[in-house]
Amino acid sequence: MYKKLLFIILTILFVNQLCKAQIISSDKNRYYEFLVECPIFKCSITGKIIDTALLVAPPNSKFVLVDIKQDQCIIRFTMFSNNKKTNSKKPYSSIEDYTSYTYFTITKAQLDFKAVLIKKSEWDLVVGTIITPIKLRFSPFDFSKDISVGSTFGIKYNLNQDKQSAIAFLIGTGISSVTADSFSTKGRTQKNVDLLAFTPSLGAVIEMGNAQIGVFLGFDFISHVNQLKYEWIYQGEPWISFGIGYSMFSFNLKK
């Protein structure tokens, strides 16, 4: 039974980390939008100007700030403006004429004056993995080391723009390994018996930087056959668990 539970834990953690690796790069990008026209030059990713032809980025064009080197900003456009009007006077050209160019350079002053940071929604969708190693049970009161592992999803409210502080509200489902003994079965068994249980839960997690602290309320349900056999007193009864360092990642709700 423990081998099966360990296999389930490792599988869920592997899938979660794989998905997390696929989106972590997009979370750290900083997206901007030009408010007015801005002169730009084509450059390499290191910031070296490779074409001295002066280009003009139109208003509303969106870009990623790739790097800042002293007064120089290296940017990469994500999409082009729908404005099809181009400046026909040379040496100026519209950015639409150079769609094959990837990196461009502007000054820090131009970034501050001509562009604005695109703010994301304060709400994110959250999915992740939750492991609860210790449970506080009631009716009657007891501490148990019944391990639960499962997936969770919910919403997260970001307390600041950089998403360094947030609170998440979660709903989870998982599998638990619970121990039925003489006390919890009212003498139905005289030895400890490990049983699998279905575990739905509700929780809240506070994030501060890389630290996560959460509290969860859940319920364990062993199978109907096992319940008839052991009459486990905690069947469907609420428990509370506290934890640190949950594995979760999020998707911003604002498109």
Note the pLDDT tens digit of each residue in 3-21. Answer: 555 545 544 454 444 334 3
Per CATH, the number for 122-252 is 2.40.160
Cα 1 to Cα 8, 103, 124: the distances in Å are 11, 55, 37
pLDDT at 48: 93
Give tens-digit pLDDT for 123-174.
888 888 888 888 999 988 998 888 888 888 999 988 876 667 889 999 999 9
The CATH 2.40.160 portion of the chain extends over 122-252
Which 8-state DSSP code applies to residue 24? H
Band the pLDDT of 88: cuts 50, 70, 90.
Answer: very low
Contacts for 8 with CB less than 8 Å, ≥ 6 apart: 149, 175
pLDDT at 93 over 50: no
Burial of 170 (0-12, 13-18, 19+ CB in 10 A): buried
| pLDDT tens-digit series, residues 42-56 | 999 899 999 999 999
For the chain, what is the mean pLDDT? 79
